Amino acid sequence: MDNCIFCKIANKEIPGKIIYEDDICVAFLDLSQTTNGHTLVIPKKHFKNFLEVDNDTLAHMIKVTKDIANKIVTKLNANGVNILTNANEVAGQTVMHFHLHIIPRYDNNDQIEINFSDRSNEVNLDSLFNQIME
């Protein structure tokens, strides 16, 4: 896509701090740096999001993401890592080019917070199960 900032980085039209590249994907430091080492892994081919990326590209990217995450954790002495992606604006996606975030975690005071609320008393699992399975 002509105006996609991630396509421009992948095509070297604009600079990025690229820490990995192969024929399928490229990884670079995120400008926002939620935590030190926050990295994005993107396919070179444009896909809108996780829901649209082809399975071969996705499989390759998750392996690359694992290798890069291990390197970042080791080199930056992180104690853990979040791997995440957002699909569509309602889920927090701001750049409409599929990407995986590698967010190193150093301690419980990192500048990122992910909370899973417990709605078990409000949800009928049988009904959800049946909707998904029909």
Say which of 38, 97, 99, 101 is annotated catalytic: 99
CB 37 within 8 A of CB 72: yes
- Dist CA 111 CA 109 (whole Å): 6
CB 98 within 8 A of CB 47: yes
CB 44 within 8 A of CB 23: yes
CB 63 within 8 A of CB 75: no
Annotated active-site residue 46? The verdict is: no
Give catalytic residues, as residue numbers.
99
